[in-house]
Structure 1
Amino acid sequence: MSGSAQTGTIITRVPARMDRLPWSRFHWRVVVGLGGVWVLDGLEVTMVGNVSARMTEKGSGIHLDPAQIGVAAAIYITGACLGALFFGHLTDRFGRRNLFMLTLAVYLVSTVATAFAFAPWYFFVTRFFTGAGIGGEYAAINSAIDELIPARVRGRVDIVINGTYWLGSAAGAAGALVLLDTSNFPANLGWRLAFGIGAIFGIFVLLVRRNVPESPRWLFIHGRDKEAERIVSDIERDVESETGQPLPEPGGQPLKIRQRQTISFFEIAKVAFVLYPRRAVLGLALFIGQAFLYNGVTFNLGTLLSEFYGVPSAKVPLFFILWALSNFLGPLLLGRLFDTVGRKPMITASYIGSAVVVVALALLFVTKTGDAWTFIAVLAVAFFVASAGASAAYLTVSEIFPMETRALAIALFYAIGTAIGGISGPLLFGQLINSGQRDLVFWSFVLGAVVMAAAGLVELWLGIAAERRPLEELALPLTVADAEEQDATS
């Protein structure tokens, strides 16, 4: 593969050295510093769902109707898709650490600006840039996490970290429960303060994130092998000091790498769709499936509860808290099974299983069976199952493509899948909820179940047994192939 700056050929054992590390304080810093993005995303997405009912009321200071709430959700997702692509490419080119600092800054500025919204168009603009920052985070963070966490626990750690999105949701809902109470704050102020919760937590994440190093895997490929060796050696010394035991020798064969400073966008796209077409189909199916159902429900749950169950806007966050906690418990309790039972059976079961429960939910809804608590209880069961599978979509894409393309692969499949499912879902749910007709909303739930089930069947067909396997075994780095090609012609 020519056309890129080359800096030399090296032999490295950095991946094996990282994978054989025992769990340590270093890994906890990675989890807190990088995993915090999911808490932020949960705050952002759920915040709009929580305050949406209030923003449609008179006296809110920015009168929106349910359909415009759906439009705002679609704009947020559009920003996230474009931000993922833009920042994802920069992440593969300039490094994980540089970009996960920049994208967090974009998020912080944009979410603070949202609190000052005075008209629908302004609200739409700030939601777009907030989404762009979060989308960029997805690419930078997921690639860095998988490259810094040992292979034997990569699945459960990644899934639980992605599941912390719902801790953010619960925190946002709890905060909104207080802030939307008009006995505490005026109707035109409480929802504005709600957006400040994300900014405050984002500053904390930024401070922790300063102590997370650049990915050694990225460094040695981009001609900075000495820096990679230094970082890994520092981590090893810290771990040995913490455990009081010498580390075992790394296993496996060393990698021979032909270093390159840049890899073209064309080469990256070629890898995804020509070299690994079956994996590309798998990634798209998983993202589209979860994005349609999740975004459709999340962005519109507040208005759905208010319109069809008469839940007061100030009480909507209470339902969100219960639903969000069920979503977090899914990855927390099921995550380890993705490393033991395996990726393929667990992802298949979570997608198809959740689809079955959503169909039951749709029937309950259209027949007016039970009250709001019944509805939220069945919804919680559906998403307890679905949430682990949704988190596994990010894990899957970050594992099955070569390291040089990892961040952009996450961004590409997130952007395409979410653009199809994540934009259409909120728009469809928003419009049908606005109709006030249960039978129309029923079909949106059924469609979401069908899309989830279809993704589960694609996983059953094309899924990859990635559990406990090194990243370099799942997809050989392009630079290794370059080195082998160079040896064959020399």
Structure 2
Amino acid sequence: MEVSNSNQVALPSMSLDETIEQIIGRFGWSQFMQAILVSIPAFFDAQQTFISIYADAVPKWHCNTFDTSCNPKSNICKLPRSSWSWDEPSHYSIISDWGLECASSFITSLPASSFYIGSLIGGFTFAILGDFCLGRKNLLYLSSLIMSVTALLTAFSTNIWVYSSLRFVSGLSRSSVITCSLILLTERIGKRLRSQVGTTAFFSYALGLLSLPAVAYTNRGSSWRILFLYTSIPAIFYFIITYFFVYESPRWLFMQGRDKEAIAILKRIACIEDRILDSYLSNIHHRQEIPKVNPYTSMKDLFKRNWALKRILAAMVIGFGVGVVYFGMLLGVGNLNFSIYLSVIFNASLLIPSNLLTLLFISRWKRKSSLFAFCTISGICSIICVMVGKGREGIQIGLELASFFCSSLAFNVLLMFTIELFPTSVRNSATSLARQAVALGSVFDPVLISIGRKNEFLSFGIFGLTMLLCGFFVIVLPETRGKALCNTMDEQESKDSTMV
């Protein structure tokens, strides 16, 4: 390269994607701080996603000593209320607080199901906003703030119906948190470290889940309302304070024709010499403009183009299976006759090594083969967990942990895989659809877990079978490891045709 009179470096003609790659290819301090700030919303998302494990728990009870007719194995609904008492204070969970111990499975599972139904609807409703008017950053913070404020209001619920409605709104708003975090991370990092940095959101999510049993155990003698207060108030302060320090995705800004804003952000996160940076930025100024993409047209293309339709449907089917097991294992730990605090801690602890493995090997793993293997092993372990039967809690919890571990690996790989399968113009929408398929799988978990207290096959058995069947759909997807990201549907289609 030669230095021109303007003290800039003469550069060969490059596409916009290649230019951005050269500017942000190195990972510096600014990008590191941005990765941390963008990953933390996943911490609070995990707390609200699984808070029902404790807030909606069915408390244990004991017979009062003065009543000899009471039997610990009796049906609690057939005993006089004066003959038994809760082991914990009555305000421990919504079940004991509102006297729902004899309510139907539909009623007791309604709050959790409402949350996941809200997540499902919100993903389809808000997904396009991340590709269109709001962008990655604004959608991330708006979703996270509404989720946290709703959680705060949930602490003041007066009955199961108000509680379920607020949980629905919370699920509706948080549906885009993980998706926006991942995309905002990956679109601002060069392809060399894109996969590794993207996993920081998974680590944050794992820490959020791991913190939940600690907060619940510390306040085990307090009301379930306190749990909502302790998990929502810090989140609200965080989102208000850090909003002004997080940058938008330069790629998305370029797609919206907001070049000046995109260039300003590239200057802040670049880790190259100023004279080289100026040359790259000059190259951007003289590039051919990318026409602003209509998001509705792009979404239409997502379903009109055969290759895109095949990819999104396959990703959604796999996501459904992953969601059934991933959320089912965590929500169903109460059915295994094991400590509800230790069970969640064990499962949450496994997210750390699963995320670490993803971080270390995602650049080496082939997406298709690794995703298929994780789905298969997870499904088999879940089915064997049922076959072992009750009375062998140690073996059961071991198989449950193995199944959850593999499902979390499958979840991580699926999200990274989906991000790489689609161009910038529809990446948020496509990833949200796959993410919402995961949410769809979780919608059925509370009901299956409730009826699974009498027949474990209706919970863990169905979890495993679903995962096994859905895993086979990975066969129709192309391998994406090490491939560059495209910006438009036409560019993606052209690139795929050239590769074929």
- TM-score for the superposition, normalised by structure 1: 0.81
Where do 4+ consecutive residues of structure 1 move more than 6 Å?
Answer: 244-250, 481-484
Partner of 1:468: 482
What is the distance in 1 between the residues matched to 2:55 and 2:45?
A: 15
Among candidates 186, 193, 202, match of residue 162 of structure 1: 202
Q: Deviations over 1:288-307 (max 9, x none)?
A: 011112222323323x24xx
- What residue ranges of structure 2 are gaps of 5+ in the alignment? 1-12, 61-85, 92-96, 496-500
Q: Deviations over 1:415-451 (max 9, x none)?
A: 34532x2212222222232xxx2xx222421221122
Partner of 1:62: 98
Partner of 1:488: none
* Superposition deviation, residue 340 in structure 1: 0.9
Q: Deviations over 1:180-205 (max 9, x none)?
A: 1x2xx3xxx2x211112322442364
Aligned AA (1:197): Y
Please give the secondary structure, in 2, of the residue aligned with 1:149. coil
Matched, 1:338 2:365: no
- Residues 120 and 415 of structure 1, relative CA distance in 2, 3 Å threshold: same
- Residues 55 and 79 of structure 1, relative CA distance in 2, 3 Å threshold: farther
Partner of 2:169: 129
Please give the secondary structure, in 2, of the residue aligned with 1:59. coil
Q: Deviations over 1:341-389 (max 9, x none)?
A: 322222121111212222222222x2x2423x44333322222222111
Please give the secondary structure, in 2, of the residue aligned with 1:340. coil
Aligned AA (1:211): F
- Residues 483 and 425 of structure 1, relative CA distance in 2, 3 Å threshold: closer
Matched, 1:444 2:459: yes
Aligned AA (2:439): T
Which stretch shifts more, 198-207 or 345-354? 198-207
Partner of 1:356: 380
Partner of 1:477: 488
Among candidates 408, 412, 422, match of residue 442 of structure 2: 422
What is the distance in 2 between the residues matched to 1:382 and 1:343?
A: 19
Which stretch shifts more, 62-71 or 324-333? 62-71
Aligned AA (1:234): R
Matched, 1:296 2:328: yes
- Residues 245 and 342 of structure 1, relative CA distance in 2, 3 Å threshold: farther
Partner of 2:246: 212
**Contact kept in structure 2, 1:91 and 1:140, CA below 8 Å:** yes
Structure showing greater Rg: 2
Among candidates 13, 31, 43, match of residue 16 of structure 2: 13
Counterparts of residues 83-482 of structure 1 (less than 5 Å): 83-94=122-133, 95-180=135-220, 182=221, 185=222, 189=223, 191-203=224-236, 205-206=238-239, 207-236=241-270, 239-240=271-272, 256-260=288-292, 263-275=294-306, 276-302=308-334, 304-305=335-336, 309=337, 311=338, 315-364=339-388, 366=389, 368-371=390-393, 373-419=394-440, 421-433=441-453, 437=454, 440-459=455-474, 461-472=475-486, 476-478=487-489
- Identical-residue share of aligned pairs (%): 20
Please give the secondary structure, in 1, of the residue aligned with 2:305. helix
- Residues 154 and 329 of structure 1, relative CA distance in 2, 3 Å threshold: same
Partner of 1:487: none
**Contact kept in structure 1, 2:35 and 2:200, CA below 8 Å:** no
What is the distance in 1 between the residues matched to 2:458 and 2:203?
A: 28
Please give the secondary structure, in 1, of the residue aligned with 2:482. coil
Partner of 1:39: 43
* Superposition deviation, residue 248 in structure 1: 13
- What residue ranges of structure 1 are gaps of 5+ in the alignment? 1-9, 485-490
Say what the alpha-carbon RMSD is for the aligned residues: 3.1
Which stretch shifts more, 272-281 or 113-122? 272-281
* Superposition deviation, residue 45 in structure 1: 2.3
Q: Which has the larger share of helix?
A: 1
- Residues 71 and 294 of structure 1, relative CA distance in 2, 3 Å threshold: farther
* Superposition deviation, residue 54 in structure 1: 5.5
Q: Deviations over 1:20-45 (max 9, x none)?
A: 52222223223322222322222112
What is the distance in 2 between the residues matched to 1:264 and 1:173?
A: 41
**Contact kept in structure 2, 1:96 and 1:144, CA below 8 Å:** yes
**Contact kept in structure 2, 1:399 and 1:471, CA below 8 Å:** yes
Aligned AA (1:88): A
* Superposition deviation, residue 160 in structure 1: 4.7
* Superposition deviation, residue 155 in structure 1: 2.4
Q: Larger relative contact order (C-alpha < 8 A, sep ≥ 6)?
A: 1
- Residues 323 and 82 of structure 1, relative CA distance in 2, 3 Å threshold: same
Which stretch shifts more, 327-336 or 111-120? 327-336
What is the distance in 2 between the residues matched to 1:92 and 1:73?
A: 29
What is the distance in 2 between the residues matched to 1:133 and 1:23?
A: 32
